[in-house]
Chains A and B, each alone.
Chain A
Amino acid sequence: MQRFEKETGLVVPLDRLNVDTDAIIPKQFLKAVARTGFGANLFDNWRYLDHGEPGQETPRTPNPDFVLNKPRYQGASILLARGNFGCGSSREHAPWALLEYGIRAIVAPSFADIFHNNSLKNGLLPVVLPETVIDRLFQAVEAHVGYSLTIDLRGQRVFAGDEEIGAFAIDAFRKECLLEGLDDIGWTLAREAEIRDYEARRRNEAPWLFQSAGGHS
């Protein structure tokens, strides 16, 4: 996982409620078997005027009205979004696509649960700020070309230059994982004995839970 400590970057605003993961990365790109190659198709249906297919070689026609295509937002690493960002499908391709495009943090009033979780496991930081602060940020981004924010994970603060915009919460465990770039699996496997103990106890209490689900391998 990519480490995350502090990110200062240009902010791109996506002024839309309930942005779903189908919009973030449309279904035809989920046929890939690798973790990479999704950045070019982030927000594909909104970002391009022509229909995209995986592995397409022909040049695409960008939609000049879509915010990510506007010259002033090129190189943005912080996405400013509205409520319930990332709702819908559990596809982790959504945070993969955002990261590959260059987004390192998303600032929004709320996130869908599964997307929030998937983002944290990939070093993409979801930052929740109150609705009123988000409203002000949308106005500020609109008003000032080159508007940037700094997100300080260690201090759990968001700054615009020297001005503190707000504080955000994060689970202590998740924060540590992000700061250190820790892998959940490695952490868990280090507790193998505890898992074996649990299994032994449960096998005794509820043996039917340890029957095969069937099928053939």
Chain B
Amino acid sequence: MGQARPGRYQWPLLSATDAVLSRRETLAKTGARGRIILASAAPLRTMAHFIRLISMAKTLYDKLWASHVVRELDDGTCLLYIDRHLVHEVTSPQAFAGLRTRDRGVWRTDANLAVADHNVPTRDRALGITDATSRRQIETLEQNCRDFHVPLFAMNDVRQGIVHVTGPEQGATLPGMTIVCGDSHTSTHGAFGALAHGIGTSEVEQVLATQCLLQKRSRTMRVRLEGTPPPGVGAKDMALAVIGRLGTAGGTGYAIEFAGSAVRALSMEGRMTLCNMAIEAGARAGLVAVDDTTINYLAGRPFAPKGALWERAVAAWRDCVSDADARFDQECEIDVSALAPQVTYGTSPEMVVSIEGRVPDPANEQDPARREAMSAALAYMDLRPGTAMTDIAVDVVFIGSCTNARIEDLRAAAAMVAGHKIAPGVRRALVVPGSGLVKRAAEAEGLNRIFTDAGFEWREPGCSMCLAMNADRLESGERCASTSNRNFEGRQGQGGRTHLVSPQMAAAAAIAGHFVDIRHDL
């Protein structure tokens, strides 16, 4: 796109009916249609957008966007109203400091909800936080919430947990909302038919001060997941398969709506897992249309509307779906009826194969930059091309994170663990519930006993070993089966090696000491 010059009009290259794309095609198209066109000052619109304008049929994204525009500027930048702002300790201190410096207040305190999650210890809470820098950050959050009257779930509150588990659990996440948080996994909340995405600290400050953000519209992509996956294959495997297909940048500039029979059949927990990982395909926002599953999940949640207001809200939420004839800028379809459990082998979530597969050989990769990235990843992961995934032994197992620490995840993992012991070669196996309420529910079902009897540690809620900001981390060279969302170098501890899997796959790896094809054990 060397000819993409500012101000010069270009009719977009895409068609509205892009069929199923191979990953390479997707990447090429993303490159061709990426920032240059999207960011142009000219009033460019995609063909699909043009057709939408004529037909009036709207995608869910279009509806969410349109209902939140306060003002649109000439270049398409919009002042977008934000309904819900979730706040945590890591990305907010500088934002509150900015408010203080300029003597600004919080626009609408009741739109905010704060909870400490990234830094919190997951054991011996009675001892407080022993790490001085972590303690200072959490105390800063508490002080900021007091000073600015922002609602907070404190560390000793049973509702405390990972912000992306807590929000939905409380009904603070509702369909039709715009939801932001200084955390990239805010895409999780799109599972409720809400427009939700991560923001940086400057934007955290802006939302606190103005309840608005200055944003450009994303393009829309629909990923249809069709068919019934085999037993033992679930939302996490679908998410990894989508990322494997699109690539880690395939969704850049898009909001991805997940649709299809396999998505309709998912629980809200499963839909959250799927939307959570939209960002790992490059899409800031994931979306799932509202249906009975959504509404049934929300009924009776503490901060969901009640009585007549509930009825009114439900009637409105029924429209949080894409119209039948709505056109998307890009479409992708994956048949999940024969999908196998997925395992990552490298240092990017797109480096994923099925459990039946082997570590790929970089020599077979045609693109030099990708070949180089793959070689570097295999060196970091200490893996040889051709190794069967089932031959990879693990040192550590982590079941937790905003991807997979909800009650359904813990039930699925416990079902694999029941009656077994963790393998002698596994040094540590952790279960970190997503919130105090998930922990309490799991304990009421006896899941904690199943895990501890098998040799797992049963911890307090928090982000924990997903990003290793607290004491839970891998030592250099340790290999981990993890239910989290990122296998980046050093993510779980410097020198640590991460394989992303589903809760069942992680649990099975703990028992066997290596990855196994759980379909054969079910």
Contact between A131 and B70, CB atoms less than 8 A apart:
no
Contact between B203 and A117, CB atoms less than 8 A apart:
yes
Q: Which residues of B contact A88 (CB under 8 A)?
A: 184, 486, 488
Partner of B6, one of A130, A167, A191: A167
Distance of A67 from chain B, by nearest CB (Å): 14
Partner of A195, one of B40, B70, B140, B202: B70
Contact between B376 and A84, CB atoms less than 8 A apart:
no
Partner of B110, one of A118, A172, A206, A212: A212
Q: Which of B136-161 contact A (CB under 8 A)?
A: 136-137, 140, 145-146, 149-153, 157, 159
Q: A207 contacts the other chain (Cβ, under 8 Å)?
A: yes
Contact string, A200-217, partner B, CB cutoff 8 A, digits 1/0? Answer: 001000111111111111
Stretch of A3-11, A17-25, A143-151 lying at the B interface: A17-25
Contact string, A153-189, partner B, CB cutoff 8 A, digits 1/0? Answer: 0001000000000111111111100000000110111
Contact between B71 and A189, CB atoms less than 8 A apart:
no
How far is it, in angstroms, between the C-alpha of A161 and the C-alpha of B484 when the chains are bound? Answer: 47
Partner of B149, one of A26, A121, A198, A217: A217
Partner of A22, one of B97, B153, B488: B488
User: Number of contact residues on A: which range applies?
Assistant: 35 or more
Q: Which residues of B contact A111 (CB under 8 A)?
A: 35, 252
Partner of A215, one of B39, B79, B113, B202: B113
A-B contact count (CB 8 A): 276
Stretch of B174-182, B289-297, B353-361 lying at the A interface: B174-182
Q: Which residues of A contact B423 (CB under 8 A)?
A: none
How far is it, in angstroms, between the C-alpha of A213 and the C-alpha of B84 when the chains are bound? Answer: 8
How far is it, in angstroms, between the C-alpha of A216 and the C-alpha of B302 when the chains are bound? Answer: 14
Q: A60 contacts the other chain (Cβ, under 8 Å)?
A: no
In this complex, the member of B83, B134, B198, B249 whose beta carbon has the largest number of chain A beta carbons within 10 angstroms is B249
Q: Which residues of B contact A45 (CB under 8 A)?
A: 489-490, 494
Q: A128 contacts the other chain (Cβ, under 8 Å)?
A: yes
Given A216-B151, A217-B151, 4 more A-B residue pairs with CB atoms under 8 Å apart are A171-B41, A185-B210, A198-B81, A202-B81
Residues of B within 8 A of A (CB): 1-2, 4-6, 30-31, 34-37, 39-41, 70-71, 73-77, 79, 81, 83-84, 90-91, 93-94, 97, 102, 104, 107, 109-115, 118-119, 131, 133-134, 136-137, 140, 145-146, 149-153, 157, 159, 167, 170, 172, 174, 176-177, 182-184, 186, 197-203, 205-206, 209-212, 214, 216, 248-249, 252-253, 279, 282, 284, 302-305, 309-310, 312-313, 316, 348, 369-370, 372-373, 376, 467-469, 486, 488-491, 494
Minimum-distance CB pairs A-B, first 9: A215-B151, A92-B200, A118-B200, A213-B113, A33-B93, A208-B305, A90-B198, A84-B249, A172-B75
Q: List 9 A-B contacts (CB under 8 A).
A: A31-B134, A45-B489, A84-B248, A109-B31, A128-B39, A169-B40, A172-B75, A210-B110, A216-B152
Residues of A within 8 A of B (CB): 15-18, 20, 22-23, 26-28, 30-35, 45, 51, 54-55, 82-84, 87-93, 95, 109-114, 116-118, 121-122, 128, 130-133, 156, 166-175, 184-185, 187-189, 191, 194-195, 198-199, 202, 206-217
